[in-house]
Amino acid sequence: MTAKSLVSISDYKVEDYNRILQLASEFEANSYQNLLHGRVIATLFFEPSTRTRLSFESAINRLRGRVIGFADIGTTSSTKGESLHDSIRMVSGYCDLIVMRHPLEGAARYASEVSSVPIINAGDGANQHPTQTLLDMYSILKTQGTLQNLAITLIGDLKYGRTVHSLIMAMMNYNPRFYHRNLHCQMNTNKFLQNTIFLFRNIPICKKY
């Protein structure tokens, strides 16, 4: 694994996915370890989150790390006009790693370019949510026994669902067949899915039902 930050799921290769999933299995068997002892992790949530934020903070504590950060942008200097650039530069001087959620697409990539420490993208607008994808892949692997040659049904907001975007990109490496049903948007979901997949690889798209 050469990438220090995790901004897009495409920043990593298939070998990286497989290694992370193997490590996840080991951590599930023994979640209390000292890997982050002496490290400070900043969780910067510029939009509301419960499960993602608490998942990260719980994991950091289980690995004996220290957590700083915020869950309410209203308590930060952003309300006084501080730019994202200045916020990231400042916080990166206080910690060893930044976990960030932001409502704007591309914010995590920008943060990784100005930060002096690695950035983990915990969701940037309707763009991506790579750590959720890794968790989804681990769940699929546990329940199905493999990631290869699966029929995957995507249900929900396919246009704005960042988790779906990341999952499609990652699972393309395992020869899937995608089915889809959009419950929330009046849009041509088949065209959207085709355009998304065309950007990366020619994967068969099965009919909507």
- Among candidate residues 129, 162, 165, 180, the one labeled active-site is 129
Nearest-angstrom CA–CA distance, 70 and 62: 19
Query: Tens digits of per-residue pLDDT, 156-204?
Result: 777 767 888 899 999 999 999 888 765 554 444 455 555 554 444 444 4
Is there a catalytic annotation at residue 133? Answer: no
Chain region(s) in the chain for CATH 3.40.50.1370: 9-124
Is there a catalytic annotation at residue 62? Answer: no
Q: What's the pLDDT at 178?
A: 84
What angle, rounded to 10 degrees, do the helices at 14-29 and 130-144 form? 70
CATH superfamily, domain 9-124, is Aspartate/ornithine carbamoyltransferase (3.40.50.1370)
Of 95, 125, 127, 101, which is closest to residue 46 (Cα–Cα)?
101
Query: Tens digits of per-residue pLDDT, 48-79?
Result: 999 999 999 999 999 999 999 999 888 888 88
Is there a catalytic annotation at residue 4? Answer: no
Average pLDDT rounded to a whole number, residues 143-147: 96
Q: What's the pLDDT at 193?
A: 53
Q: Where are the alpha helices (DSSP H) in the chain?
A: 14-29, 51-62, 84-92, 107-114, 130-144, 162-171, 189-198
pTM (two decimals)? 0.82
- Among candidate residues 51, 75, 79, 191, the one labeled active-site is 51
- Among candidate residues 53, 101, 102, 165, the one labeled active-site is 101
Is there a catalytic annotation at residue 19? Answer: no
Of 123, 142, 132, 143, which is closest to residue 168 (Cα–Cα)?
132
- Among candidate residues 43, 52, 131, 189, the one labeled active-site is 52
- Among candidate residues 2, 75, 80, 207, the one labeled active-site is 80
Is there a catalytic annotation at residue 129? Answer: yes
Does residue 88 contact residue 115 with C-beta atoms inside 8 Å? yes
Average pLDDT rounded to a whole number, residues 134-143: 96
Q: What's the pLDDT at 31?
A: 85
Q: Which amino acid is at 134?
A: L
Query: Tens digits of per-residue pLDDT, 5-62?
Result: 999 999 999 999 999 999 999 998 888 999 999 999 999 999 999 999 999 999 999 9
